[in-house]
Structure 1
Amino acid sequence: MSELTTLHDAITRIISERMPSVLHVESFPELDAQVRAPALLYGITDMSLGTDRGEGKTALVGRFQACILIEADRPKAPLQAAILASQLATVLKDQWWDVGFVTGPPEQIHAQPEAPLPELEQFVMWSVQWIQNFEVGELVWPWPDEPPGSLVFGFSPDTGPGSEGQYVAPGDIP
């Protein structure tokens, strides 16, 4: 399974748990699918290269967008949609999605009302966007594994050839 699938699954699970009043949470929904509202539909919309940590993985910065849908005929539907957008912003704050390849919490969280697409005219819609840093690929360690106990430290100026006897193992440092 790819990191993107894992990340979207984690986002769906956490939003569903933390926003129980949302009846339908789904990533990349089919446009002709039946949606029970209130609904939160989301997905990654673009990616760019992030800051490489030098471990062989590819660092990416993903932009995500969520659309919150409330039936337009509900009382105060625009307010209800805004409330759900604020709740999503709260879920996003400091969120790492419980996956090890996410390298930071969401940034640049922004919410605003949107005009619905013609096929969604029966809804009031708010969008919430955020930036998420994560990594894909395998960890690469280009050096051979060393046996236990082979790591030692030398402290300046007692380093280099002729000073090897003054090096200490990590467990022997006071």
Structure 2
Amino acid sequence: MNKDTPVEMIHQAMVNTLKNHFSDRLTFVHAYNPGKCLQSPGIYLGMHQMEVGENPGDGRHVITADWFSYIVLSNSTDNLAIKIRYLACEVMALLNQPETGLWGLDNVVGLPKHIQAIPALFNPDTEGYESWEVTWQQSFYMGDSLWEDDGETPKTVLASHVPYTGKAYEPRYKPL
């Protein structure tokens, strides 16, 4: 079975969401690769760090990641300073809305937190471009939940007290 990892799924969902939102205003939306040439206008996505989050108690592992997006415009862009800040605001607004900030993966990721933007100097050797970095913290889940299966979700919870438990006593159970 060829199943994408949560990181691959999240990255692709981020790319799709941003491409859809910016449509023809941005030429490129993809992973940041410091060894590649920049193209403008574009957004480059990546992650600064990850750490293990709080155990959700369902068999999955939570990873809390510090994500980033570099918004890049050429220095020849008209009204560059205003346009690049506005693009940063748009990315921040997308992150701040559950419909887009969850990337369509609300069973895999948590809501983005600590959303901020600052001017970026991500490659000091690159001239001719202006960049802003939008950063946020977002958790995601690794593994399968113990609570997800193919069965039917119970509609009523029934209970009993010892010693009247088990299959033989099911007719005596009371709804909670």
**For the superposition of Structure 1 and Structure 2, which TM-score range results when normalised by the shorter chain?**
0.7 to 0.9
TM-aligned CA deviation for residue 162 of structure 1: 4.6
CA distance in 1, matches of 2:113, 2:163: 49
CA distance in 2, matches of 1:106, 1:4: 15
TM-aligned CA deviation for residue 29 of structure 1: 3.0
Among residues 19, 22, 28, which one is paired with 1:24 in the alignment? Answer: 28
Among residues 157, 160, 163, which one is paired with 1:161 in the alignment? Answer: 163
If the length of structure 1 is used for normalisation, what is the TM-score? 0.80
CA distance in 2, matches of 1:111, 1:34: 20
TM-aligned CA deviation for residue 118 of structure 1: 3.0
1:121 aligns with 2:145: no
Q: Which residue of 1 aligns with 2:87?
A: 84
Which consecutive residues of structure 2, in runs of 5 or more, have no partner in the other structure? none
The one-letter code matched in structure 2 to 1:46 is Q
What RMSD, in angstroms, separates the aligned Cα atoms of the two structures?
Answer: 2.4
Q: Secondary structure at the match of 1:160?
A: coil
Task: Mark the CA change 1:62 to 1:116 in structure 2 (over 3 Å): closer, same or farther.
Answer: closer
Q: Secondary structure at the match of 1:101?
A: coil
Task: Mark the CA change 1:112 to 1:34 in structure 2 (over 3 Å): closer, same or farther.
Answer: closer
TM-aligned CA deviation for residue 53 of structure 1: 1.0
> Alignment identity in percent?
21
CA distance in 1, matches of 2:93, 2:49: 23
Contact 1:67–1:126 under 8 Å retained in 2? yes
Task: Mark the CA change 1:101 to 1:123 in structure 2 (over 3 Å): closer, same or farther.
Answer: same
Structure 1 segments (4+ residues) deviating >4 Å: 162-165
1:101 aligns with 2:105: no
CA distance in 2, matches of 1:129, 1:76: 24
Which consecutive residues of structure 1, in runs of 5 or more, have no partner in the other structure? none
CA distance in 2, matches of 1:71, 1:32: 16
CA offsets 1:71-125 (integer angstroms, 9 cap, x no match): 11222211111010000001111211112211x2110000011235234321111
Select between 51-60 and 122-131 the one with higher mean Cα deviation. 51-60
TM-aligned CA deviation for residue 51 of structure 1: 1.5
The one-letter code matched in structure 2 to 1:161 is P
CA distance in 1, matches of 2:116, 2:6: 24
Q: Which residue of 2 aligns with 1:13?
A: 16
Q: Which residue of 1 aligns with 2:75?
A: 72
Q: Secondary structure at the match of 1:46?
A: strand
Aligned residues: 158
Select between 79-88 and 92-101 the one with higher mean Cα deviation. 92-101
Among residues 42, 63, 68, which one is paired with 2:66 in the alignment? Answer: 63
CA distance in 2, matches of 1:71, 1:4: 29
1:46 aligns with 2:53: no
Select between 9-18 and 24-33 the one with higher mean Cα deviation. 24-33
TM-aligned CA deviation for residue 138 of structure 1: 2.6
The one-letter code matched in structure 2 to 1:97 is W
TM-aligned CA deviation for residue 30 of structure 1: 5.3
The one-letter code matched in structure 2 to 1:121 is E
